[in-house]
Structure 1
Amino acid sequence: MINNQLVNISLIIFCFLSFLLIYNQNIDIIISSLFYSKNVGFIYKDNFFVKKLYYSIPILTKILVVTCLCSIAYLYLKTKNLKIILSSGFFFLLITASLGPGLIVNFILKENMGRARPREIIEFDGSKLYTGAGIISDQCQSNCSFSSGHAAMGFYFTAISYIFRRKFTKIFLSSMLFGMLVGLSRIIMGGHFTSDVVISGFIVLIINHLIYVLWENYRLKI
Protein backbone atom coordinates (compact mmCIF):
# COMPACT_ATOMS: atom_id res chain seq x y z
CA MET A 1 0.00 0.00 0.00
CA ILE A 2 0.96 3.65 -0.39
CA ASN A 3 2.95 5.03 2.53
CA ASN A 4 1.20 8.41 2.69
CA GLN A 5 3.07 9.37 5.85
CA LEU A 6 6.41 8.95 4.08
CA VAL A 7 5.20 10.99 1.10
CA ASN A 8 3.84 13.76 3.34
CA ILE A 9 7.03 13.94 5.41
CA SER A 10 9.12 14.13 2.22
CA LEU A 11 6.94 16.90 0.82
CA ILE A 12 7.10 18.89 4.07
CA ILE A 13 10.91 18.60 4.22
CA PHE A 14 11.38 19.60 0.58
CA CYS A 15 8.86 22.43 0.91
CA PHE A 16 10.68 23.79 3.96
CA LEU A 17 14.08 23.53 2.28
CA SER A 18 12.76 25.19 -0.88
CA PHE A 19 11.45 28.20 1.03
CA LEU A 20 14.64 28.38 3.11
CA LEU A 21 16.82 28.45 -0.02
CA ILE A 22 14.59 31.06 -1.66
CA TYR A 23 14.55 33.19 1.50
CA ASN A 24 18.30 32.99 2.16
CA GLN A 25 19.97 33.37 -1.23
CA ASN A 26 23.50 33.03 0.22
CA ILE A 27 23.10 29.33 1.03
CA ASP A 28 23.48 28.37 -2.64
CA ILE A 29 26.80 30.19 -2.94
CA ILE A 30 28.09 28.79 0.36
CA ILE A 31 27.33 25.17 -0.58
CA SER A 32 28.69 25.45 -4.13
CA SER A 33 31.89 27.05 -2.82
CA LEU A 34 32.62 23.87 -0.83
CA PHE A 35 33.36 22.11 -4.13
CA TYR A 36 35.23 24.99 -5.78
CA SER A 37 38.87 25.99 -5.88
CA LYS A 38 40.35 29.10 -7.49
CA ASN A 39 43.10 27.00 -9.03
CA VAL A 40 41.09 24.18 -10.63
CA GLY A 41 37.48 25.38 -10.60
CA PHE A 42 34.95 22.82 -9.46
CA ILE A 43 37.25 20.23 -7.94
CA TYR A 44 35.35 17.00 -8.57
CA LYS A 45 33.71 17.82 -11.90
CA ASP A 46 35.68 15.05 -13.63
CA ASN A 47 35.29 12.46 -10.87
CA PHE A 48 34.39 9.03 -12.28
CA PHE A 49 31.35 8.42 -10.07
CA VAL A 50 30.07 11.97 -10.44
CA LYS A 51 30.17 11.70 -14.23
CA LYS A 52 28.55 8.25 -14.17
CA LEU A 53 25.61 9.66 -12.21
CA TYR A 54 25.36 12.53 -14.68
CA TYR A 55 25.32 10.27 -17.76
CA SER A 56 22.98 7.71 -16.18
CA ILE A 57 19.99 10.04 -16.37
CA PRO A 58 19.61 10.35 -20.18
CA ILE A 59 20.17 6.60 -20.52
CA LEU A 60 17.55 5.72 -17.89
CA THR A 61 15.14 8.28 -19.35
CA LYS A 62 15.37 6.75 -22.82
CA ILE A 63 14.87 3.23 -21.42
CA LEU A 64 11.82 4.40 -19.46
CA VAL A 65 10.19 6.23 -22.37
CA VAL A 66 10.81 3.46 -24.91
CA THR A 67 9.53 0.79 -22.49
CA CYS A 68 6.36 2.76 -21.71
CA LEU A 69 5.62 3.61 -25.36
CA CYS A 70 6.20 0.04 -26.54
CA SER A 71 4.05 -1.35 -23.73
CA ILE A 72 1.23 1.11 -24.43
CA ALA A 73 1.40 0.26 -28.15
CA TYR A 74 1.22 -3.44 -27.29
CA LEU A 75 -1.83 -2.87 -25.05
CA TYR A 76 -3.52 -0.91 -27.82
CA LEU A 77 -2.91 -3.60 -30.43
CA LYS A 78 -4.02 -6.34 -28.05
CA THR A 79 -7.11 -4.75 -26.51
CA LYS A 80 -8.09 -1.68 -28.59
CA ASN A 81 -9.45 -0.47 -25.24
CA LEU A 82 -8.57 3.10 -24.25
CA LYS A 83 -9.69 2.58 -20.64
CA ILE A 84 -7.26 -0.29 -20.17
CA ILE A 85 -4.43 1.82 -21.60
CA LEU A 86 -5.24 4.83 -19.41
CA SER A 87 -5.43 2.65 -16.30
CA SER A 88 -2.10 0.91 -16.98
CA GLY A 89 1.00 1.60 -14.94
CA PHE A 90 2.91 2.40 -18.12
CA PHE A 91 0.56 5.29 -18.86
CA PHE A 92 0.97 6.59 -15.30
CA LEU A 93 4.77 6.48 -15.56
CA LEU A 94 4.74 8.20 -18.95
CA ILE A 95 2.36 11.00 -17.96
CA THR A 96 4.20 11.77 -14.71
CA ALA A 97 7.55 11.92 -16.54
CA SER A 98 6.04 14.16 -19.21
CA LEU A 99 4.46 16.61 -16.77
CA GLY A 100 7.03 16.84 -13.96
CA PRO A 101 10.57 16.62 -15.36
CA GLY A 102 9.40 17.23 -18.92
CA LEU A 103 6.91 20.10 -19.08
CA ILE A 104 7.34 21.93 -15.78
CA VAL A 105 11.08 21.61 -15.13
CA ASN A 106 12.73 21.33 -18.56
CA PHE A 107 10.32 23.27 -20.73
CA ILE A 108 8.76 25.95 -18.50
CA LEU A 109 11.36 26.67 -15.81
CA LYS A 110 14.70 25.95 -17.51
CA GLU A 111 13.72 27.82 -20.66
CA ASN A 112 12.20 30.88 -18.99
CA MET A 113 13.83 31.65 -15.63
CA GLY A 114 17.20 32.69 -17.12
CA ARG A 115 19.34 31.71 -14.12
CA ALA A 116 23.04 31.26 -14.89
CA ARG A 117 24.71 28.07 -13.70
CA PRO A 118 27.25 28.18 -10.83
CA ARG A 119 30.22 27.67 -13.16
CA GLU A 120 29.04 30.67 -15.21
CA ILE A 121 28.79 33.29 -12.45
CA ILE A 122 31.39 35.83 -11.33
CA GLU A 123 31.77 34.24 -7.88
CA PHE A 124 33.17 31.11 -9.55
CA ASP A 125 35.32 32.74 -12.23
CA GLY A 126 32.53 33.16 -14.77
CA SER A 127 31.09 36.31 -16.30
CA LYS A 128 27.40 36.09 -15.38
CA LEU A 129 25.60 37.64 -12.43
CA TYR A 130 24.27 35.42 -9.66
CA THR A 131 20.49 35.20 -9.46
CA GLY A 132 18.60 33.84 -6.49
CA ALA A 133 16.23 30.89 -6.78
CA GLY A 134 12.81 31.67 -8.19
CA ILE A 135 13.84 35.07 -9.61
CA ILE A 136 13.49 35.64 -13.35
CA SER A 137 16.78 36.81 -14.87
CA ASP A 138 18.42 37.56 -18.21
CA GLN A 139 21.74 35.87 -17.46
CA CYS A 140 20.95 32.72 -19.45
CA GLN A 141 19.03 32.28 -22.70
CA SER A 142 18.25 28.55 -22.81
CA ASN A 143 18.72 25.33 -20.82
CA CYS A 144 19.40 27.37 -17.70
CA SER A 145 20.19 26.46 -14.11
CA PHE A 146 16.74 26.77 -12.53
CA SER A 147 15.68 24.14 -11.97
CA SER A 148 17.62 20.90 -12.38
CA GLY A 149 16.43 18.51 -15.08
CA HIS A 150 18.81 15.74 -14.00
CA ALA A 151 17.69 15.97 -10.37
CA ALA A 152 14.05 16.05 -11.47
CA MET A 153 14.48 12.76 -13.32
CA GLY A 154 16.41 11.29 -10.41
CA PHE A 155 13.58 12.03 -8.00
CA TYR A 156 11.00 11.12 -10.64
CA PHE A 157 11.72 7.41 -10.17
CA THR A 158 9.71 7.59 -6.94
CA ALA A 159 6.77 7.24 -9.36
CA ILE A 160 7.65 3.56 -9.76
CA SER A 161 6.79 3.00 -6.09
CA TYR A 162 3.15 3.87 -6.86
CA ILE A 163 3.02 0.95 -9.29
CA PHE A 164 4.68 -1.63 -7.03
CA ARG A 165 2.76 -0.68 -3.92
CA ARG A 166 3.74 -3.72 -1.86
CA LYS A 167 7.32 -2.45 -1.97
CA PHE A 168 6.37 1.21 -1.91
CA THR A 169 8.60 2.30 0.97
CA LYS A 170 11.75 0.56 -0.30
CA ILE A 171 11.35 1.83 -3.86
CA PHE A 172 10.41 5.34 -2.73
CA LEU A 173 13.39 5.67 -0.38
CA SER A 174 15.79 4.15 -2.93
CA SER A 175 14.57 6.60 -5.57
CA MET A 176 14.89 9.50 -3.15
CA LEU A 177 18.48 8.49 -2.43
CA PHE A 178 19.18 8.22 -6.15
CA GLY A 179 17.68 11.66 -6.76
CA MET A 180 19.82 13.15 -3.99
CA LEU A 181 22.98 11.57 -5.39
CA VAL A 182 22.22 12.81 -8.90
CA GLY A 183 21.45 16.26 -7.52
CA LEU A 184 24.67 16.26 -5.51
CA SER A 185 26.62 15.31 -8.63
CA ARG A 186 25.20 18.35 -10.44
CA ILE A 187 26.16 20.64 -7.53
CA ILE A 188 29.66 19.16 -7.40
CA MET A 189 30.10 19.67 -11.15
CA GLY A 190 29.07 23.32 -10.93
CA GLY A 191 26.06 22.64 -13.12
CA HIS A 192 23.41 23.52 -10.55
CA PHE A 193 22.83 25.23 -7.25
CA THR A 194 21.38 23.37 -4.26
CA SER A 195 18.07 25.21 -4.68
CA ASP A 196 17.82 23.97 -8.28
CA VAL A 197 18.02 20.41 -7.01
CA VAL A 198 15.72 20.76 -4.01
CA ILE A 199 12.98 22.62 -5.88
CA SER A 200 13.08 20.10 -8.72
CA GLY A 201 12.62 17.35 -6.17
CA PHE A 202 9.70 19.18 -4.56
CA ILE A 203 7.99 19.72 -7.91
CA VAL A 204 8.38 16.11 -9.02
CA LEU A 205 7.20 14.65 -5.70
CA ILE A 206 4.05 16.79 -5.83
CA ILE A 207 3.32 15.93 -9.46
CA ASN A 208 3.88 12.21 -8.92
CA HIS A 209 1.50 12.11 -5.97
CA LEU A 210 -1.21 14.31 -7.49
CA ILE A 211 -1.21 12.35 -10.74
CA TYR A 212 -1.35 9.12 -8.76
CA VAL A 213 -4.44 10.30 -6.86
CA LEU A 214 -6.21 11.26 -10.11
CA TRP A 215 -5.08 8.09 -11.88
CA GLU A 216 -6.15 5.82 -9.02
CA ASN A 217 -9.57 7.49 -8.81
CA TYR A 218 -10.01 6.91 -12.53
CA ARG A 219 -9.04 3.25 -12.18
CA LEU A 220 -11.53 2.73 -9.38
CA LYS A 221 -14.35 4.08 -11.56
CA ILE A 222 -13.71 1.65 -14.41
Structure 2
Amino acid sequence: MKRLIYTCIITIIISYIFISYPKIDIFISSLFYSENSHKFYLKNNYILKFISYLAYYLAFLLLAYSSIVILLTFIKTKSYRFINYRPQIIILLVFFIGSVLLVQTFSKHYFGRARPYKIIEFNGNKEFTAAFTVSNQCTFNCSFVSFHTSIGVLFLIYSFYQTGSKRKLMIIFSYLLVVLFALTRVMQGKHFLSDVVISTCFMFIIYYLILFIEGKCIKLERKIYS
Protein backbone atom coordinates (compact mmCIF):
# COMPACT_ATOMS: atom_id res chain seq x y z
CA MET A 1 0.00 0.00 0.00
CA LYS A 2 2.87 2.39 0.80
CA ARG A 3 4.42 1.88 -2.63
CA LEU A 4 1.09 2.62 -4.28
CA ILE A 5 0.66 5.82 -2.27
CA TYR A 6 4.24 6.95 -2.92
CA THR A 7 3.86 6.28 -6.65
CA CYS A 8 0.63 8.28 -6.76
CA ILE A 9 2.29 11.19 -4.95
CA ILE A 10 5.26 11.13 -7.33
CA THR A 11 2.89 11.00 -10.30
CA ILE A 12 0.96 14.01 -9.00
CA ILE A 13 4.17 16.01 -8.51
CA ILE A 14 5.51 15.12 -11.97
CA SER A 15 2.14 15.87 -13.56
CA TYR A 16 1.98 19.24 -11.80
CA ILE A 17 5.39 20.17 -13.22
CA PHE A 18 4.40 19.28 -16.80
CA ILE A 19 1.03 21.02 -16.48
CA SER A 20 2.54 24.16 -14.94
CA TYR A 21 5.49 24.30 -17.34
CA PRO A 22 4.24 22.84 -20.64
CA LYS A 23 7.10 24.41 -22.57
CA ILE A 24 9.33 21.68 -21.15
CA ASP A 25 7.76 19.34 -23.70
CA ILE A 26 8.34 21.77 -26.55
CA PHE A 27 11.95 22.38 -25.53
CA ILE A 28 12.88 18.70 -25.27
CA SER A 29 11.22 17.84 -28.58
CA SER A 30 12.91 20.81 -30.28
CA LEU A 31 16.29 19.23 -29.56
CA PHE A 32 15.49 16.62 -32.21
CA TYR A 33 13.86 18.97 -34.71
CA SER A 34 15.67 20.56 -37.65
CA GLU A 35 14.66 24.13 -38.49
CA ASN A 36 16.37 23.79 -41.87
CA SER A 37 14.51 20.71 -43.08
CA HIS A 38 11.41 21.44 -40.97
CA LYS A 39 11.15 17.93 -39.61
CA PHE A 40 12.36 15.63 -36.86
CA TYR A 41 15.63 14.51 -38.37
CA LEU A 42 15.48 11.04 -36.76
CA LYS A 43 11.83 10.34 -37.55
CA ASN A 44 12.69 7.92 -40.37
CA ASN A 45 15.92 6.60 -38.91
CA TYR A 46 16.03 2.84 -39.58
CA ILE A 47 17.53 1.96 -36.21
CA LEU A 48 14.87 3.90 -34.32
CA LYS A 49 12.15 2.39 -36.49
CA PHE A 50 13.49 -1.06 -35.66
CA ILE A 51 13.45 -0.26 -31.94
CA SER A 52 9.84 0.94 -32.21
CA TYR A 53 8.74 -2.27 -33.93
CA LEU A 54 10.80 -4.29 -31.46
CA ALA A 55 8.51 -3.17 -28.64
CA TYR A 56 5.55 -4.92 -30.28
CA TYR A 57 7.46 -8.14 -30.87
CA LEU A 58 8.84 -8.23 -27.33
CA ALA A 59 5.37 -7.60 -25.92
CA PHE A 60 3.99 -10.49 -27.97
CA LEU A 61 6.79 -12.82 -26.86
CA LEU A 62 6.40 -11.94 -23.18
CA LEU A 63 2.62 -12.36 -23.26
CA ALA A 64 2.86 -15.62 -25.21
CA TYR A 65 5.50 -16.95 -22.83
CA SER A 66 3.43 -16.03 -19.76
CA SER A 67 0.34 -17.68 -21.23
CA ILE A 68 2.23 -20.86 -22.11
CA VAL A 69 3.75 -21.08 -18.62
CA ILE A 70 0.28 -20.76 -17.08
CA LEU A 71 -1.07 -23.50 -19.36
CA LEU A 72 1.83 -25.90 -18.76
CA THR A 73 1.76 -25.30 -15.02
CA PHE A 74 -1.97 -26.05 -14.92
CA ILE A 75 -1.52 -29.23 -16.97
CA LYS A 76 1.21 -30.36 -14.58
CA THR A 77 -0.37 -29.39 -11.25
CA LYS A 78 -4.13 -29.19 -12.01
CA SER A 79 -4.09 -26.39 -9.44
CA TYR A 80 -6.44 -23.40 -9.38
CA ARG A 81 -4.42 -21.58 -6.73
CA PHE A 82 -3.30 -18.12 -7.76
CA ILE A 83 0.08 -18.44 -6.07
CA ASN A 84 1.16 -21.08 -8.61
CA TYR A 85 0.72 -18.65 -11.50
CA ARG A 86 1.45 -15.38 -9.71
CA PRO A 87 4.19 -13.75 -11.88
CA GLN A 88 2.52 -14.66 -15.16
CA ILE A 89 -0.96 -13.53 -14.12
CA ILE A 90 0.41 -10.23 -12.80
CA ILE A 91 2.21 -9.58 -16.10
CA LEU A 92 -0.96 -10.29 -18.07
CA LEU A 93 -3.07 -8.09 -15.79
CA VAL A 94 -0.61 -5.19 -15.92
CA PHE A 95 -0.51 -5.42 -19.71
CA PHE A 96 -4.25 -5.55 -20.30
CA ILE A 97 -5.26 -3.08 -17.58
CA GLY A 98 -2.24 -0.78 -17.93
CA SER A 99 -0.97 -0.89 -21.51
CA VAL A 100 -4.20 -1.76 -23.32
CA LEU A 101 -7.01 -0.19 -21.29
CA LEU A 102 -5.45 2.79 -19.48
CA VAL A 103 -2.71 3.78 -21.93
CA GLN A 104 -3.82 2.75 -25.41
CA THR A 105 -7.61 2.83 -25.10
CA PHE A 106 -8.53 5.45 -22.50
CA SER A 107 -5.74 8.04 -22.29
CA LYS A 108 -4.97 8.35 -25.98
CA HIS A 109 -8.62 8.65 -26.97
CA TYR A 110 -9.83 10.77 -24.05
CA PHE A 111 -7.14 13.47 -24.03
CA GLY A 112 -6.76 13.68 -27.81
CA ARG A 113 -3.27 15.15 -27.73
CA ALA A 114 -1.58 15.66 -31.09
CA ARG A 115 1.83 14.12 -31.59
CA PRO A 116 4.85 16.46 -31.71
CA TYR A 117 5.45 16.12 -35.44
CA LYS A 118 1.84 17.20 -36.09
CA ILE A 119 1.79 20.45 -34.10
CA ILE A 120 2.26 23.97 -35.47
CA GLU A 121 5.53 24.50 -33.58
CA PHE A 122 7.06 21.66 -35.60
CA ASN A 123 5.63 22.47 -39.04
CA GLY A 124 2.33 20.68 -38.49
CA ASN A 125 -1.22 22.00 -38.39
CA LYS A 126 -2.38 20.93 -34.92
CA GLU A 127 -2.33 22.94 -31.72
CA PHE A 128 -0.01 21.98 -28.89
CA THR A 129 -1.76 21.01 -25.66
CA ALA A 130 -0.22 20.37 -22.26
CA ALA A 131 -0.32 17.02 -20.49
CA PHE A 132 -3.76 16.06 -19.13
CA THR A 133 -5.45 18.72 -21.27
CA VAL A 134 -8.51 17.38 -23.07
CA SER A 135 -8.49 18.52 -26.70
CA ASN A 136 -9.88 17.75 -30.14
CA GLN A 137 -6.53 17.89 -31.92
CA CYS A 138 -6.38 14.12 -32.35
CA THR A 139 -9.05 11.44 -32.66
CA PHE A 140 -7.08 8.22 -33.12
CA ASN A 141 -3.80 6.80 -31.78
CA CYS A 142 -2.90 10.06 -30.07
CA SER A 143 0.19 11.14 -28.18
CA PHE A 144 -0.73 11.07 -24.49
CA VAL A 145 0.53 8.64 -23.17
CA SER A 146 3.16 6.32 -24.68
CA PHE A 147 2.30 2.67 -25.37
CA HIS A 148 5.89 1.77 -26.27
CA THR A 149 7.16 3.04 -22.92
CA SER A 150 4.53 0.97 -21.14
CA ILE A 151 5.95 -2.15 -22.80
CA GLY A 152 9.39 -1.32 -21.45
CA VAL A 153 7.91 -0.97 -17.96
CA LEU A 154 6.15 -4.31 -18.43
CA PHE A 155 9.53 -5.98 -18.98
CA LEU A 156 10.90 -4.19 -15.93
CA ILE A 157 8.07 -5.59 -13.82
CA TYR A 158 8.72 -9.04 -15.28
CA SER A 159 12.38 -8.77 -14.28
CA PHE A 160 11.36 -8.22 -10.64
CA TYR A 161 10.16 -11.83 -10.54
CA GLN A 162 13.39 -13.38 -11.78
CA THR A 163 15.61 -15.26 -9.37
CA GLY A 164 19.29 -15.98 -8.97
CA SER A 165 22.16 -14.17 -10.64
CA LYS A 166 20.16 -13.28 -13.74
CA ARG A 167 17.72 -11.11 -11.77
CA LYS A 168 20.09 -8.17 -11.41
CA LEU A 169 21.08 -8.33 -15.08
CA MET A 170 17.44 -8.52 -16.14
CA ILE A 171 16.52 -5.50 -14.04
CA ILE A 172 19.41 -3.44 -15.45
CA PHE A 173 18.52 -4.52 -18.99
CA SER A 174 14.85 -3.67 -18.44
CA TYR A 175 15.64 -0.21 -17.06
CA LEU A 176 17.70 0.44 -20.17
CA LEU A 177 14.84 -0.88 -22.30
CA VAL A 178 12.40 1.59 -20.72
CA VAL A 179 14.78 4.48 -21.40
CA LEU A 180 15.48 3.22 -24.93
CA PHE A 181 11.82 2.92 -25.90
CA ALA A 182 10.97 6.27 -24.32
CA LEU A 183 13.89 8.16 -25.84
CA THR A 184 13.30 6.60 -29.25
CA ARG A 185 9.72 7.85 -29.37
CA VAL A 186 10.72 11.36 -28.29
CA MET A 187 13.57 11.49 -30.82
CA GLN A 188 11.23 10.43 -33.62
CA GLY A 189 8.79 13.21 -32.78
CA LYS A 190 6.14 10.65 -31.92
CA HIS A 191 5.85 11.57 -28.23
CA PHE A 192 6.53 14.41 -25.84
CA LEU A 193 8.66 13.90 -22.74
CA SER A 194 5.55 14.02 -20.54
CA ASP A 195 3.96 11.22 -22.59
CA VAL A 196 6.72 8.76 -21.79
CA VAL A 197 7.30 9.82 -18.19
CA ILE A 198 3.64 9.74 -17.18
CA SER A 199 3.16 6.46 -19.04
CA THR A 200 5.80 4.99 -16.74
CA CYS A 201 3.99 6.40 -13.71
CA PHE A 202 0.64 5.02 -14.87
CA MET A 203 2.07 1.54 -15.32
CA PHE A 204 3.58 1.46 -11.84
CA ILE A 205 0.32 2.70 -10.33
CA ILE A 206 -1.53 -0.16 -12.01
CA TYR A 207 1.16 -2.62 -10.91
CA TYR A 208 1.07 -1.58 -7.25
CA LEU A 209 -2.72 -1.45 -7.30
CA ILE A 210 -2.78 -5.03 -8.55
CA LEU A 211 -0.33 -6.05 -5.82
CA PHE A 212 -2.56 -4.41 -3.21
CA ILE A 213 -5.63 -6.27 -4.45
CA GLU A 214 -3.57 -9.44 -4.78
CA GLY A 215 -2.65 -9.26 -1.09
CA LYS A 216 -6.33 -9.21 -0.18
CA CYS A 217 -7.07 -12.11 -2.53
CA ILE A 218 -4.21 -14.24 -1.15
CA LYS A 219 -5.54 -13.82 2.38
CA LEU A 220 -8.96 -14.97 1.18
CA GLU A 221 -7.43 -17.88 -0.74
CA ARG A 222 -5.52 -19.05 2.33
CA LYS A 223 -8.73 -19.09 4.34
CA ILE A 224 -10.43 -21.17 1.65
CA TYR A 225 -7.62 -23.73 1.36
CA SER A 226 -6.67 -23.85 5.05
RMSD: 2.7
Where does residue 62 of structure 2 map in the other structure?
64
Structure with max Cα Rg = 2
Q: Using the alignment, how far apart are the partners of 1:134 and 1:205 within structure 2? A: 18
Give the Cα–Cα distance (whole angstroms) in 2 for the partners of residues 86 and 113 of structure 1.
39
C-alpha contact 1:112 1:142 (8 A) present in aligned 2? no
Secondary structure of residue in 2 paired with 1:88: helix
| CA–CA separation in structure 2 for the residues paired with 1:214 and 1:9 | 17
CA distance in 2, matches of 1:174, 1:210: 24
Determine what percentage of the aligned residue pairs are the same residue: 35
What TM-score do the two structures reach when normalised by structure 1? 0.85
C-alpha distance in structure 2 between counterparts of 1:110 and 1:141, whole Å: 8
Distance (whole Å) between structure 2 residues aligned to residue 194 and residue 22 of structure 1: 12
- Structure-2 residue corresponding to 1:196: 195
Question: Out of 34, 38, 61, which is 2:35 matched to?
Answer: 38
1:14, CA displacement in angstroms? 5.7
Q: Which stretch of structure 1 is more off in the superposition, 129-138 or 174-183?
A: 174-183
- Tell me by how many angstroms 1:139 deviates: 0.6
Contact 2:29–2:189, Cα closer than 8 Å, also in 1: yes
Q: Is the 8 A contact 2:145 2:196 kept in 1?
A: yes
Change (3 A) 1:175 1:15: farther
Q: Name structure 2 gaps, 5 residues minimum.
A: none
TM-score for the superposition, normalised by structure 2: 0.84
Q: Which residue of 2 aligns with 1:107?
A: 105
Distance 1:130 1:13 in 2: 25
Classify the secondary structure of the residue corresponding to 1:145.
coil
SS in 2 for 1:82: coil
Q: Structure 1: any 5+ residue segments left out of the alignment?
A: none
Matched residue pairs, number? 218
